[in-house]
Amino acid sequence: MNFPVLYLRKGAERRLRAGHLWVYSNEVDTRRSPLTDFEAGVQAELRAANDKPMGTVFVNPHALICGRLISRNSAHGMTPQRLTDRVETALVLRERLFDKPFYRWVFGDSDGLSGLVIDRFDDVVVVQISTAGMEQMKDAIVRAVQRLAHPRAIILKNDGKMRQVEGLDTYVEQAHGPEVDLLAVEENGVRFEVPMEGGQKTGWFYDHRMNRQRLQAYAPGKRVLDVFSYVGGWGIQAACAGATQVTCVDSSASAIESVHHNAKINGLDNIETIEGDAFDALKALCEEKEKFDIVVLDPPALIPRRRDQKAGEEAYARLNQLGLRLLDRDGLLVSASCSMHLSQEKLTDIIRSSGRKIDRFVQLLEQGHQAPDHPVVPGIPETDYIKSCFVRSLTGFL
């Protein structure tokens, strides 16, 4: 294939050589290769300043991440066959890991498919495309999914925030099969149904699967508070594992409705809900002197951008202080984060300082990570984003 050439500035290739797959617009030698010469989504050969080939990239001249590496071989572009091969390689891993077809099938850069996420819900597959390059491959993606999984339905849920950054329209489209109103999920032996309309991201968050499984070991006989519950992923699983009572907190009325629906399909009658802002709800529970044996905090990313670091860390601190206040004298705090800008070490330190501020002795029992259907590429720190701390909190211990 004959590609246009995108040149890097001197020294800009170091991060790519170390294992990263992104090219930032300020790393491009715009004198030799003006970004305005490239159309969004086009494939190009990437070369270092000394003219040494670095591989091929998808280019988007309008985005900060203006290049996404396709291959380190400058003769290999992203063809429908290469895309299908990578989707199949991703599928082989998931089928090895899980005995039922409920998982993140493709996790973007981690599977060599930057800008593409595919989630599988048995015979329904939800595809989310977030980059101009992958948008060009839309038809090939649908064909690959059809050939490899033969699903009843394929949904393109292309309404994520990243599409705006890439200059792409947002839309939800039924690419194959009948319309789907509810996504069926089975996780850790528990069943859920999630409405397609208004659902977050692709509809479910498989990334905390293993951490929710660990919660089940602590849940029997306990009173549990699940904050930012969405459709009840943590709380419903805790109840199925033997929690005596679960309270789910979410600001979305439709999410709260789904919590009750999911409680019903699992035969549970011990689920309560609070609809409202999580911080306000936690403060109100503190004022009412409510106590729980387990408090789960799984907020959305409170540090969406690096410039939000300080405000986000302060929000995590307020949240964890409130969570600790609501624990009985020997309680468990499960504090989770999906902010890639918050390290595991920093989350642990926030919990430490929160414990000291309210005079709690805290013991870190376990640290959780993202499930293996969200593999981490060591050279791409952005792929390592999920963390959780299981913390025992003791009052009057020291």
DSSP state of 67: E
Q: Which of 66, 240, 248, 338 is catalytic?
A: 338
Stretch (H or E) spanning 70:
strand 65-71
**CA 86 remoteness from chain centre:** 20
d(CA 251, CA 229): 9
Please provide the size of the chain in residues: 398
Strand partners, 28: 8
Let me know if 389 is a catalytic residue.
no
Q: What is the spatial distance between Cα 336 and Cα 351, in angstroms, rounded to a whole number?
A: 11
207 is written with which tokens? 């990334």
Continuous H helices in the chain: 14-17, 80-97, 132-136, 138-149, 161-165, 209-218, 233-240, 253-265, 278-287, 309-325, 344-357
DSSP designation for 201 = T
**Dihedral sign from CA coordinates of 337, 339, 345, 351:** negative
Judging by DSSP bridges, how do beta strands 292-297 and 271-275 pair with one another?
Answer: unpaired
Query: Tokens 């309270």 label which residue?
Result: 247
- Note whether 66 and 28 are within 8 A (CB): yes
3-class state of residue 88 by DSSP: helix
What amino acid is encoded at 176 in this protein? Answer: H
| Residues taking part in catalysis | 338
